[in-house]
Structure 1
Amino acid sequence: MSKLLHNIKTKTRFMRIGDWCVVTTGIVLVVVLFQQLWSHEGATRVQIRLGDTIYGTYSLNQQRDIQVDGAIGPATVSIMNGKARFSKSPCHNQYCVHQGWLSRSGQAALCLPNQLSLELIGEAKHYDSLNY
């Protein structure tokens, strides 16, 4: 019995050319699928919502600061170099401000106490768990 185990171990110790082809093909397939499914295109516009209504849609190509009067006070949305963010907000914890710059299509920032949201919009919708 031990001779049988020894033969199995010695024969499976080294990978053969077919094994390397299968492993290489699998790795390439995983990398390509990851890039295709999870890469996001750059956004072209930012949509600002106040409550359940669209406050405005702005191009990301122009540098500007937009002041929006929310439920608890004025908030400032900054647009610069193809990115957008909440730069000032009257909310207590400042989670929306700390979220930072948004640059890819489909990204969003929310200021729940002020009932404001930003969503970046590109030419095509990207895949996410909500689309599934």
Structure 2
Amino acid sequence: MRPGDGFVVLVAALAVGVSFPLLWAGGRPERAVVRVDGKVVAEFPLTAPRRYTVAGPLGETVIEIAPGRARVLSDPGPRQYCVQQGWLTRPNAIAICAPNHVSLSLSGREASHDSLNY
């Protein structure tokens, strides 16, 4: 290796490191979509704080919305997986409260990914 090769490798690694967040970041979420049994029951813009309560088979699920993000605040499900998801901040992010048949997702113009596979 010549003396300048290390510098070139360092600059290339830095360029790759900086490009990943810029190229792979999705757009900003614009709306929170609440579904029960797969049907949309409410849509809210992510511009103002609010709470929304939706009824499911097990009881009430509380959705909290803040500017640019949303979360499931409480749910009657036994394992609380959707509550443990925390704040959703990216387009197409989703929290599913399966026992109560309720889901919360974020939508926007640009998604952070094309699809999900399970």
TM-score normalised over the length of structure 1: 0.75
Structure 2: 5+ residue runs without aligned partners? none
**Partner Cα separation in structure 1 for residue 50 and residue 6 of structure 2:** 57
Identify which of 84, 90, 104 aligns with 2:70.
84
Larger radius of gyration, structure 1 or 2?
1
Quick check: 2:71–2:83 contact (8 Å CA) kept in 1?
Answer: yes
Pair 1:129–1:52, CA change in 2 (3 A): closer
TM-score normalised over the length of structure 2: 0.82
**How many equivalent residue pairs?**
117
Higher helix fraction: Structure 1 or Structure 2? 1
Structure 1: 5+ residue runs without aligned partners? 1-11
Quick check: 1:37–1:127 contact (8 Å CA) kept in 2?
Answer: no
Higher relative contact order (CA 8 A, sep 6+): 2
What amino acid sits opposite 1:31 in the alignment? G
**Partner Cα separation in structure 1 for residue 27 and residue 111 of structure 2:** 9
Identity across the alignment (%): 33
Cα RMSD, aligned residues only: 2.2
Aligned residue in 2 for 1:38? 24
